[in-house]
Chains A and B, each alone.
Chain A
Amino acid sequence: QKEVEQDPGPLSVPEGAIVSLNCTYSNSAFQYFMWYRQYSRKGPELLMYTYSSGNKEDGRFTAQVDKSSKYISLFIRDSQPSDSATYLCAMYRGNAGKSTFGDGTTLTVKP
């Protein structure tokens, strides 16, 4: 069983929709959580970085962490065609020296 499981998708939504992307994890030692956005043929770009349980907001993006349920989410409000990409969740322990990534969810936002 993988340490990090990500909703596989693909996901297709109309422009303006609210998008929810989700990951679960099994290792309770994970302390830091990230969301990356990856456009086709490009490297992943760090979108959100959180440490504690709760919500963190940045513009149209909200990252949510529930450590008790071992569940993280990324919400995108008022989705735009430019949000069409693959989204990867990632997490790590404090001194692990490496991150563990989900397999990614591909999102398409249709105009």
Chain B
Amino acid sequence: DGGITQSPKYLFRKEGQNVTLSCEQNLNHDAMYWYRQDPGQGLRLIYYSQIVNDFQKGDIAEGYSVSREKKESFPLTVTSAQKNPTAFYLCASSRTGGGGNQPQHFGDGTRLSIL
């Protein structure tokens, strides 16, 4: 079954700690995305990658970092510089980064909380 797997489902972070959220896809999609969703709000783009070894900042990249060393994987690190990290994090992928193949497919998210 093709899809996007995010792990863990729930994650707790201590003050001053970096944490990494995992995102793996087996859809053979070129493009991958990370979003943050806060209660009652839409999706805000953190980072996106249209191809391996390349990524761009989204609207709220401060305090986050990513890597894209493999096509299937796009991990997100929430650093201690992110002062309000409690949120629901969603990873998505699309066949390409533009044109008619861009509709994104989502994983089931990771809920990050501060201890």
Contact of B48 among A95, A98, A102 (CB under 8 A): A98
Q: Is the CB of B98 within 8 A of A43?
A: no
Q: Which residues of A contact B81 (CB under 8 A)?
A: none
Q: Is the CB of B33 within 8 A of A98?
A: yes
Q: Is the CB of B90 within 8 A of A43?
A: yes
Expressed in whole angstroms, the Cα–Cα distance for A32 and B95 within the complex equals 15
Interface presence of B82 (CB below 8 A):
no
Q: Is the CB of A51 within 8 A of B56?
A: no
Q: A97-B50, A103-B42, A104-B42 are in contact. Are A42 and B102 (CB under 8 A)?
A: no
Q: How many A residues, CB 8 Å from partner?
A: 25
Interface presence of A41 (CB below 8 A):
yes
Q: Is the CB of B109 within 8 A of A43?
A: yes
Known: A94-B99, A97-B31, A97-B97. 17 other contacts (CB 8 A): A32-B102, A43-B4, A44-B43, A44-B90, A44-B106, A46-B103, A46-B104, A46-B105, A88-B43, A90-B104, A96-B98, A97-B98, A98-B33, A98-B45, A98-B48, A98-B97, A104-B42
Footprint of A on B, CB under 8 Å? Answer: 4, 6, 31, 33, 40-43, 45, 48, 50, 56, 58, 90, 92, 97-100, 102-109, 111
